[in-house]
Homo-oligomer: A and B are copies of this chain.
Amino acid sequence: MRLSQNVIKTIKTVPKEEQAINAQLLIRAGFVHKEMAGAYSYLPLGLAVIENIKSILREEMNGLGAAEVLMSSLQPAETWKETGRWDDEVVDVWFKSMLKNGTQIGFGWTHEEPFMQLISRQVQSYRDLPLALYQFQTKFRNELRAKSGVMRGREFIMKDLYYFTRNQQELDAFYAQVEAAYLRIFERVGLGDCTFLTFASGGAFTQFSHEFQTVTQSGEDTIYLNKARRLAVNQEIYSDDVLAQLQLDKAELEEVRAAEVGNIFNFGSSKGEQMRVFFSDESGQRQPVYLSSYGIGVSRLMGVIAEHYHDEKGLVWPAAVAPALVYLLAINSKKSIQATDELYNILTERGVAVIYDDRDVRPGEKFADADLMGIPWRVVVSGPISDHETYEIKSRTETTLNHLKRDDLVRQLTGIEKQ
């Protein structure tokens, strides 16, 4: 995309009340716009990051055999009264409103109940199970405070996966598959090294739940980490008893701040029983459907990546999620425009996403924006270039300038796998 023709614009001033580093950087770099505390709009580059993360998640979800759907945000009270989760005393993040006839409705903050209600119509027999469904959906949560930028919004994009099955063994087998898929996902978005499977409190149905926590100063959680075993324990359940149960040695644990990037809930047969969602088993007996759910906050993940990958000059996106692979800029632009246009056309034709800075501004401003936006490769053209001459290319993470002939440059950039 050509910057001269686009709405993308870095800005100098960030809303005063914005405390989170991720949001400060994303706003300055023109990736998001703050609408109110906890609600952000995604501008073209921010939306590109979101879509890249979604593509990775979609591949992994389809790989698990799950089918994509999209549930409504509007929720009738009845569905949630069956499990007690309509009550504001039980769930304190509901946004509720009212139809014109006085009926109260809610805006979905998660979707276990509507999914159970949906499949109750589809599932009669054991032959109809197991079923895996996922969605990318905008969740609304009436958080008391919203100070973590896009890491914890009142409105956010979530990937949520629901698995419906016949018994605990099938649930456990799938649970293990998702655990592996989640580790691949965090690896692919660039957070593999610093993300750890973490034991947390399990709620009413299981002793523990599993979270995935990314170590970062801006995290809202404290975890006790055994790096060698790639395991951690959330502070909320940290005790001598729990450590003994998990066979973890206190001396080998490190206390660190971390941000939850994924979670896994095992509801067992509880929702099936509460909502009377049954199937007939092989012997014709009525059995409750088992449920597990698996969340990853898509917009939250963008925030955590921004927290993890930045330096004093701005964002530093891993190639797999970067909104473009190349930041192409011409200096001395009257002389270099032809060579730059040609390179832009060649790269875009080959499917390389390029931000072409063709604006009539000082070179210093272009260099600064390339760094602030955090595009993996910067290519500079400073004059007319004959076949024997070279282009300057630099990685966002290194200071070395390399010089490549056009063919070599194109070969290198088209060869960079999205991880």
**Contacts from A to B (Cβ < 8 Å):** 1, 5-9, 11, 33, 35-36, 38-44, 47, 50, 65, 67-76, 79, 95-97, 99-100, 105, 107, 114, 118-119, 121-122, 131, 133, 138, 140, 142-144, 154-155
Contact = CB atoms under 8 A, between A and B. Distances in A.
B41 A72 contact: yes
A41 B69 contact: yes
B122 A9 contact: yes
Contacts of A96: 97
B72 A35 contact: yes
B97 A107 contact: yes
Contact of A76 (B36, B41, B107, B144): B36
A149 to B, nearest CB: 14
12 contacts: A6-B67, A7-B122, A8-B67, A35-B74, A35-B76, A35-B79, A36-B105, A41-B72, A42-B69, A42-B70, A74-B154, A99-B154
B74 A36 contact: yes
A47 B134 CA distance: 12
Given A7-B133, A73-B155, A97-B142, 10 more contacts: A7-B131, A36-B72, A41-B118, A42-B69, A44-B68, A50-B70, A73-B138, A99-B142, A100-B144, A138-B138
A140 B40 contact: no
B41 A114 contact: yes
Q: Majority SS of interface residues in chain A?
A: mixed
Identify the interface centre among A44, A99, A144: most chain B CB within 10 Å of its CB.
A99
Contact of A140 (B1, B36, B65, B73): B73
Given A7-B133, A36-B76, A69 B44 contact: yes
Given A33-B118, A122-B9, A47 B68 contact: yes
A38 B75 CA distance: 11
A93 to B, nearest CB: 9
Contacts of A143: 100
Given A42-B70, A44-B68, A122-B9, A142 B100 contact: yes
A291 to B, nearest CB: 14
Identify the interface centre among A47, A65, A74, A144: most chain B CB within 10 Å of its CB.
A74
A5 B67 CA distance: 10
B119 A40 contact: no
